[in-house]
């Protein structure tokens, strides 16, 4: 199969909170406005940024994570979807070289693996010509990384930009333009990241960002320096027989799902979405999946839906398979206690409460091993568990650096629940998990 001519690049930054996400969303919108088909990707384990990508691009955003999976999988995911688009944009994670260990699994590692030009976003709010050595260092530290250009963020004026432009030229880096300071671009943070798509006039904010980037960034030059040939994948011989009926919770409370997981589920079975918030009955299913989300924000509504809570409890007691990740696990406890101290009853399958009082961050990659299972994922939450429920002794979780970490796995018949967001984007990993559930 002939290679496809397209555009592809990775947006990175020297550090977190430089404005990667706003620049990424604005560029996606600007390119969509030009009539181009944009394929989004996200480096790392994040599940919120891809939701924003998908809303803007109209294409599912895929994670490119070299720690939770392997290089071959990342290459295949990228090639499969980038070959169908005019422009592929991968949003980086943290600083360009920040990985699980040194730069392992970092944005730089992804750019190196996929031969993606890097567009660096630099927060220029408190600097001017001093960005020259910064840019020089990022350009020359690792010659295998193609630092194709820079976009400056939070620029005070055209005069300020001239200092920055001279610095970039002296550092040998293409100057693509800048995003000016603008009060309209403020997006409030929530404890797990950006607000979800559709909240707080996010679309209007993204439209503002797109307009500013069209006016202050040379998007034509950006496309000129990010041209890329991509080899489309040959079709794999996959058994397309639908083996299972799968019910996937998806609503405002439960919506953190890796797209690669969804794709594999769709290969293995007939997937039907349902809403624990709004529905009163479960779809017929061999496997029920409760992903993460923000159940604490909808605790009262979830607590009032007695028919759904009873249906899920009865489903588990019948011995059928269920996976609950983070927010899904909270829903299976007795109560959710909000940070204000309000208590709302959940399904009561497990003997614990989830409390947001005295919140503490639990964050990091997780490598989970059991007798017949080895899977990876990500833990990111602020809540704590209170209660008598005993965790399974059959599993041991480790961090990306191989240290033991407490992350309880709860089992009830063929129900499996934990704080872990599972990455099961490879078919063999999903089948391993399904076997663990008795299917």
271 three-state secondary structure: strand
Please give, one letter per residue, the 3-state secondary structure of 46-89: CCCHHHHHHHHHCCCCEEECCCCCCHHHHHHHHHHHHCCCCEEE
What is the mean pLDDT of the segment spanning 259-272? 97
Please give, one letter per residue, the 3-state secondary structure of 342-405: CEEECCCCCCEEEECCCCCCEEEEEEEECCCCEEEEEEEECCEEEECCCCCCCCEEECCCCCEE
Q: Are 360 and 383 in contact (CB under 8 A)?
A: no
Question: Which residues, other chains included, contact 394 with Cβ-Cβ below 8 Å and sequence gap of 6+?
Answer: 370, 371, 409, 411
pLDDT band of 187, cuts 50, 70, 90: low
pLDDT at 302: 98
pLDDT at 193: 47
Partners of 367 in the beta sheet? 376, 398
pLDDT at 259: 98
Model pLDDT for residues 153-177, shown as the tens digit of each residue: 999 999 999 999 999 999 999 999 9
pLDDT band of 204, cuts 50, 70, 90: confident
**What is the helix, strand, coil percentage profile of the chain, to 5?**
30, 30, 40
What is the mean pLDDT of the segment spanning 388-409? 97
> With 60 as the cut, is the pLDDT of residue 87 above it?
yes
Please give, one letter per residue, the 3-state secondary structure of 5-23: EEEEEEEECCCCCCCHHHH
326 is catalytic: yes
Model pLDDT for residues 321-362, shown as the tens digit of each residue: 999 999 999 999 999 999 999 999 999 999 999 999 999 999
Q: Are 118 and 111 in contact (CB under 8 A)?
A: yes
- The residue annotated as part of the active site, out of 28, 57, 110, 326, is 326
């Amino acid at each position: 199969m002939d290679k496809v001519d397209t555009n592809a690049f990775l947006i990175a930054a020297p550090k977190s909170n430089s404005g990667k996400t706003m620049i990424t969303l604005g560029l996606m919108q600007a390119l969509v406005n030009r009539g181009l088909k944009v394929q989004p990707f996200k480096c790392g384990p994040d599940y919120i940024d891809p939701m924003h990508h998908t809303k803007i691009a109209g294409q599912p955003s895929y994670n490119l994570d070299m720690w939770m999976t392997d290089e071959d999988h990342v290459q295949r995911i990228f090639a499969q979807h980038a070959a169908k688009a005019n422009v592929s944009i991968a949003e980086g994670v943290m600083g360009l070289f920040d990985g699980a260990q040194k730069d392992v699994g970092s944005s730089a590692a992804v750019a190196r693996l996929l031969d993606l030009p890097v567009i660096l976003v630099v927060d220029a709010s408190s600097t001017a010509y001093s960005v020259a050595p910064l840019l020089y260092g990022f350009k020359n530290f690792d010659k295998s990384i193609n630092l194709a250009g820079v976009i400056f963020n939070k620029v005070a004026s055209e005069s300020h930009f001239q200092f920055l432009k001279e610095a970039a030229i002296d550092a040998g880096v293409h100057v693509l333009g800048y995003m000016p300071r603008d009060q309209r671009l403020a997006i409030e943070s929530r404890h797990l990241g950006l607000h979800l798509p559709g909240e707080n006039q996010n679309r209007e904010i993204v439209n503002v960002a797109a307009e500013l980037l069209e006016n202050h960034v040379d998007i034509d030059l950006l496309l000129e320096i990010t041209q890329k040939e991509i080899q489309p994948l040959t079709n794999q011989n996959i058994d397309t027989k639908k083996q299972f009926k799968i019910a996937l919770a998806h609503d405002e409370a439960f919506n953190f799902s890796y797209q690669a997981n969804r794709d594999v589920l769709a290969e293995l079975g007939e997937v039907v979405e349902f809403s624990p918030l709004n529905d009163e009955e479960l779809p017929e299913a061999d496997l029920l999946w409760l992903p993460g989300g923000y159940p604490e924000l909808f605790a009262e509504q979830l607590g009032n839906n007695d028919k759904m809570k009873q249906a899920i409890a009865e489903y588990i007691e019948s011995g059928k398979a269920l996976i609950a990740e983070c927010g899904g696990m909270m829903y299976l406890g007795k109560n959710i206690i909000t940070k204000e101290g309000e208590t709302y009853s959940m399904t009561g399958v497990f003997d614990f409460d989830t409390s947001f009082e005295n919140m503490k961050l639990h964050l990091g990659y997780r490598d989970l091993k059991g007798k017949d299972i080895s899977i990876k994922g990500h833990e990111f939450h602020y809540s704590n568990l209170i209660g008598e429920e005993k965790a399974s002794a059959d599993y041991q979780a480790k961090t990306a650096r191989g240290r033991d970490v407490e992350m309880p796995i709860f089992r009830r018949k063929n129900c499996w629940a934990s704080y872990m967001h599972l990455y099961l984007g490879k078919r063999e990993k999903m089948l391993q998990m399904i076997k663990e559930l008795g299917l």
